Homo-oligomer: A and B are copies of this chain.
Amino acid sequence: MSSPFTLIKQSSQCPARRGQVTTVHGTFQTPVFMPVGTQATVKGATPADLKTLGAEIILANTYHLFLRPGHHLVKELGGLHRFMAWDRPILTDSGGFQIFSLKDLTKISEQGAAFKSHLDGANLFLSPEDAVAVQEALGTDIMMCLDTCIPYPASREEAKKATDLTSRWARRCREAQNRQTGQLLFGIVQGGMYKDLRAEAIEALIDIGFDGYAMGGLSVGEPKDLMYEMTEHTTALMPKDYPIYLMGVGTPEDLVEGVWRGVDMFDCVMPTRNARNGLLFTSSGKIVIKNAQYQRDERPLDESCSCYTCRNFSRAYLRHLYMAKEILAANLNTIHNLHYYVGLMSGIRQALEEDRFAEFRQAFYALRQTE
């Protein structure tokens, strides 16, 4: 089985690498950050905005689209790409994380996950086979196996049980997949904070064989150091000729540290959600735009940023829009935050090409400390 991953340059300084991943809808460069488009739209941005700011791949949530408008409808309308007018790669999660977030509304069995819709309370069921079928109907480029999530903290027994179930589900996902569509399927490594369970999970997934390998169950409340430690431990055991994806992570610092430890792909709602809440990322740190100090501030959010927001609008104007609860606040803040995240990854890729990622990482932290 051929890998969709091509290594362009391996860092001599750390496990980080510069690569690319090829999908049905084209190739994207790694390390990459994927903006989250939960309901077939990245909140606050148009597809044209996303292209302008340089997004090469986005993520959509299977759980949400399964409920509304429904994968059958999306398929009937030509698939998710056509539906949302995005012709570049799309990755869908499996729905597992959202279903587990419903907690008391969800019941897990060997067969799959029974849950209630958060929209209308309807009783629904998703098996590993269903999760693949839904993602095949959506027509996305990268599909994820249905996994179980392990809360933090969790006992070893609890983690072991969930990890083993995830591995069995992974095999069912791979077997259920229609291999003719060209869609890629990634396996998800669980294991909680137990290194041996993570290692076992990786072995099981490699035995099945996937197009890429993801880490789930990180950034779920554990201390930062532990998250980095588990990331380092897990990436080290993963097959290096396939893409490595750290799910649901994270802050700008987390991206730098994840890449340092060998991660190729990231997604997180942080830039978009924070944008809507007026929390903005800049090269010198965070800005809470509602703060009175920005009321008369004529400067752009980030002097070194070339996004539409920073080229045209002052902090004072952005503060006004936020205080006045204007839609444009969400739009402009989202464009900036995503541009920052996507731009950070672009800078990381450049540094990796020149094999100076250690220096890049040092400068990244230095800039934040001086302000």
Name A residues whose Cβ lies closer than 8 Å to a Cβ of B: 39-41, 43-48, 68-69, 73, 76-78, 83-85, 295-296, 298, 308, 312-314, 316-317, 320-321, 323-324, 326-328, 330-332
Within 8 Å CB of A314, what residues of B? 77, 83
In the complex, are the beta carbons of B330 and A327 less than 8 A apart?
A: yes
Assembled-state Cα–Cα distance A44/B332 (Å): 11
Within 8 Å CB of A45, what residues of B? 328
Assembled-state Cα–Cα distance A361/B291 (Å): 52
Assembled-state Cα–Cα distance A331/B42 (Å): 12
Which of B73, B85, B296, B313 touches A73 (beta carbons < 8 Å)?
B296
Assembled-state Cα–Cα distance A85/B77 (Å): 38
Within 8 Å CB of A47, what residues of B? 312
Closest to A314 in B: B77
Closest to A65 in B: B320
Can you show 30 pairs from A to B with CB atoms below 8 A apart?
A: A39-B321, A39-B324, A39-B326, A40-B321, A41-B321, A41-B324, A43-B326, A43-B327, A43-B328, A44-B327, A44-B328, A46-B308, A46-B328, A46-B331, A47-B312, A48-B308, A68-B320, A68-B324, A69-B320, A69-B323, A73-B295, A77-B298, A77-B314, A78-B298, A83-B314, A83-B316, A83-B317, A84-B317, A85-B313, A327-B327
In the complex, are the beta carbons of B296 and A77 less than 8 A apart?
A: yes
In the complex, are the beta carbons of A317 and B46 less than 8 A apart?
A: no
Q: Give the distance to chain B from A319, nearest Cβ to Cβ, in Å.
A: 8
Closest to A334 in B: B327
Within 8 Å CB of A44, what residues of B? 327-328
